[in-house]
Amino acid sequence: MATTRFWSLKGNIVKALDYVLDLKDRQRKTGGGSYIETNMTAGSHYVLDLKDRQRKTGGGSYIETNMTAGSPALAGYMMKNGQTSRNNKNVGYHFQISLPVGEGDEQVCMEIAREWMDRISGGQAQYVVAVHNNTNNIHAHIIADAYLKNGKQWEISWIKEKNRFRSAADQVCKEHGLSVLENEYSKGMTYKEWMDRNAPDSKHAMLKKTLDYVIPRVSSMDDLKSYMRAVGFKIYDDVEKQKMNEKFFEFTADIKIIETQSNGVYHIRIPYDPERHKIEVDPTEFEWIKENKTARIRIPTDKLLNYFDQKDSFLDRRSCAEIKGIFEQKRKKGRKDLRFKVPESKKCIRASHISRDEDYSREAIIRAISRNGRTETDPKIAAVIAHQNDWSYAREARRHLFEVTGINAQFQGKEFYKVASKQNYYKWKAAQIEKRLDRMHYRNLLEKDRQNLDKLKARRAELAGELKGCQQDLEQFDRELQQLMLDRVEDVAKVDESLLTKRIEETKGPLLERKDQLRQMINLYDQRISNAEYFQKEEEKKSVERVRTR
C-alpha cells in the first residue's frame, strides 16, 4: 500500500498551494498567471515565468484540479475567496500519498491520488493534485478545500478517519497492482487504538472472510459445507434438513412446551397455536439435549399421533405428516435459510445477517459458485475435505485459512480474553494514576525546593568548594607523582613498581571517584535550583494576574 499523511491547514491556503505546485515565486509579470491564454489544444495547465518553471512536477505536467477554475494556479485563490465570509478554523486540508519505492510512475500516482480523494469524500471534495518526482518514491500532494461541492464544511478528524483513509488507499493501490508498503509515519497507539488493533475479528467478520475465500474455490455447495465443517464451522441448512428428514419428523422443543405424563409419555404443545393443542410422544422418540431445558423429538412420518386439547382431553388421532405441516406453518419466519456457527462459538448467525452490503443467502452462494464456472474444487480445499476426520490435519487447515484470510481469532469466544482485556485496562489505568501521582510528587518537591531555595544554593556552594578542594588534591598528587617518577629516572630514589601502582590506586582512584560524585550532585542541585526559580516566577506571575482580575 502507499503511505498516507494528512495536515489541517490554517491561515492562507494559497501559500500551501504554492509549495505543492513548486511555485517559489508566483509569476508577478503575468498576475499570477491570470493574464495568460492559449488557443492551442495542448491544454497546458498554466504558463510560468521561465526562471520559475517547476522542477518537481515535470514543469507543471503532473498537476491537475477538479475545480471549475481550470488552472490549478488559480484554484487556491478560489478556495481563499470562497472562505472570506465564513467562520472556519481550517482553510483546507493537505493530503500526501506516497507510492512504494521503484513502483509506478507519475501518471499512475496521479490516478491513484484522484481515485483516493473521490473515495474518501464521496466524490464531493474540491482539490488540486501535484505529483512530485524529486525523491526516491513518487508521491502526490493534494490540497483540498475546506468546503465540499455541495457547500457543506468538510470536517475531518485524522484520528477517527485514518483507518478509513488508509483502507481506501490500500484498495486503490491493489487495483493498480502495487505492492504493500508499511506506513513510515505511524505514531504510538492509545490504549483504545491498541485494543481495537489487537481485538479479535467479530464472528460476522470471520464468517464473511471465510465465505469470500471459499466461494471462488469450490465447485459445489456441498463442497463448501464440507470444507467449512472440516475446519470447525457448523452449518445448519433447513432446506437440506428437510430433504434428509422426509421419513422422519424431527424438531427441538423447549421445556416450556413439554409436559411429562404419569405413564411416562410426553405431551408436546404445538408452538404458536392459539388453541394450545398437544401431541403425544413416546419416550423412545424423545431425547434430552440439555437436561430439563431442550429436547429433540424424532417421529416417523407414517405414524398416527394422539391429538389432545389444552386440558389433555383426547380429541382424535392424526397423521404425523399432518402434524408436521402444522408445525412448519406455525414456525417463525426467517428460519428457512443457512445458519452458521464459527469455531468456539455457541450462537448461530443467520446468512441474512452476515453483511448489510452483500447477500450471503443460500441462493446467492449457489449463484456465485455457478458463476465461477469451476468444474473441480481447488485441490487444497479438496484435500481438507478428504481429511475431515483427521483433527490434526483439520486444525492445521484452519490455521492456514485464518492466515490467508487475515482472520484474527485470538481468544475468540474465550472467557479469558475478557479477563486479559480487563487486566490490560487496569494496567493502563494504574500507569495513568502512577503518572498523576508522580506529577503531584514532583510538584510537592518543587514547592519544598522553592521554600528552601537559599539552603539549596548554600549546599550547592559547599559542594562546589569541596569539588575545588578535591581538584586541588588531584593536582597536588599529580605533581608529587611526576616528581617521584623523575627522581626514579634520575636514580635519585628507588621506588618499587608494585608500591607505586598501589599508591595510585589507593590515592588517585578515590579522588577521581569523589570528583565524579561531586559533579553529579552539583548538576542535580543546579537543576533543582533552576526548576525552583522557574516555579517561583510562575507562581509570582499567577499571583499578579489574580490581583489584576480582582
Q: Which residue has the cell 498551494?
A: 17
Would you say residue 193 lies in a domain? no
Written as one string, the DSSP assignment of 241-265 is: HHHHTSSEEEEEEEGGGEEE-TTS-
What is the CATH number for 9?
Answer: 3.30.930.30
End-to-end CA distance of the chain: 59
Q: Is residue 65 part of a domain?
A: yes
pLDDT of 372 reads: 82
- Which pLDDT score is estimated for 227? 92
Q: 3-state DSSP call for residue 113?
A: helix
Q: Which domain holds residue 481?
A: 452-549
State the DSSP code for 338: E
Q: Do 249 and 351 have their domain in common? A: no
Residues forming beta bridges with residue 281, ordered by sequence position: 266
Q: For residue 543, tell me if it sits in a domain.
A: yes
Instruction: Mark whether 282 and 348 lie in a shared domain.
Output: no
At 8, which helix (H) or strand (E)?
strand 3-9
SS3 track for 352-401: HHCCCCCCCCHHHHHHHHHHHCCCCCCHHHHHHHHCCCCHHHHHHHHHHH
Q: Tell me whether residue 442 is in a domain.
A: no
Distances 335 to 17, 235, 347, 453 between C-alpha atoms, Å: 59, 13, 14, 80
Which among 330, 365, 397 is the end of a domain? Answer: 330
Burial 319-335 (b: 16+ CB within 10 A, else e): ebeebbebbeeeeeeee
Strands, E assignment, 238-350: 248-254, 258-260, 266-269, 278-281, 286-290, 294-300, 304-308, 314-319, 338-341, 349-350
Q: What cell was used for 220?
A: 459445489
117 within 8 A of 96, measured Cβ to Cβ: no
Last residue of a domain, one of 292, 309, 330: 330
How far is Cα 292 from Cα 430, in angstroms, rounded to an integer? 46
Give the residue from 330, 358, 386 where a domain finishes.
Answer: 330
Contacts of residue 297, Cβ cutoff 8 Å, sequence gap at least 6: 249, 250, 251, 252, 253, 268, 281, 285, 286, 287
Same structural domain, 128 and 77: yes
Domain count, the chain: 4
Considering the domain boundaries, does residue 429 fall inside one? no
Rounded Cα gap, residues 329 and 324, in angstroms: 9
Task: Note whether residue 88 is domain-resident.
Answer: yes
If asked whether residues 163 and 229 sit together in one domain, one would say: no
Give the pLDDT confidence score for residue 415 in this predicted structure. 46
Q: How many CA atoms lie within 13 A of 409 on its CB side?
A: 21
Same domain, 25 and 106: yes
Same-domain pairing of 157 and 220: no
Domain match, 277 and 290 both: yes
* Secondary structure letter of residue 153 according to DSSP: B
Using H for helix, E for strand and C for coil, what is the string for 178-208?
A: CCCCCCCCCCCCCHHHHHHHHCCCCHHHHHH
Is residue 227 located within the same domain as residue 246? no
Q: What is the DSSP letter of 51?
A: G
Whether 534 maps to a domain, the answer reads yes
Edge-first strand order for the sheet with 63-65 is 3-9, 92-98, 139-145, 127-132, 63-65
Q: Which residues pair with 339 in a beta bridge?
A: 236, 350
Residue 37 resides in a domain: yes
Q: Are residues 68 and 95 in the same domain?
A: yes
**Residue 204 exposure: Cα atoms within 13 Å on the Cβ side:** 10
399 and 457 fall within a common domain: no
Same domain, 99 and 113: yes
pLDDT of residue 417: 46
Mean pLDDT in runs of 10 for the chain (550 residues)? Answer: 77 78 55 44 40 59 76 72 64 86 82 89 87 82 86 80 83 76 46 59 86 90 90 79 66 88 88 85 89 86 88 88 71 62 84 84 87 87 88 85 79 46 61 69 75 86 89 84 73 68 79 86 85 78 54
145 and 40: one domain? yes
Which of the 8 DSSP states describes residue 285? Answer: G
Q: Can you tell me the distance from the alpha carbon of 445 to that of 450, in angstroms, rounded to the nearest whole number?
A: 8
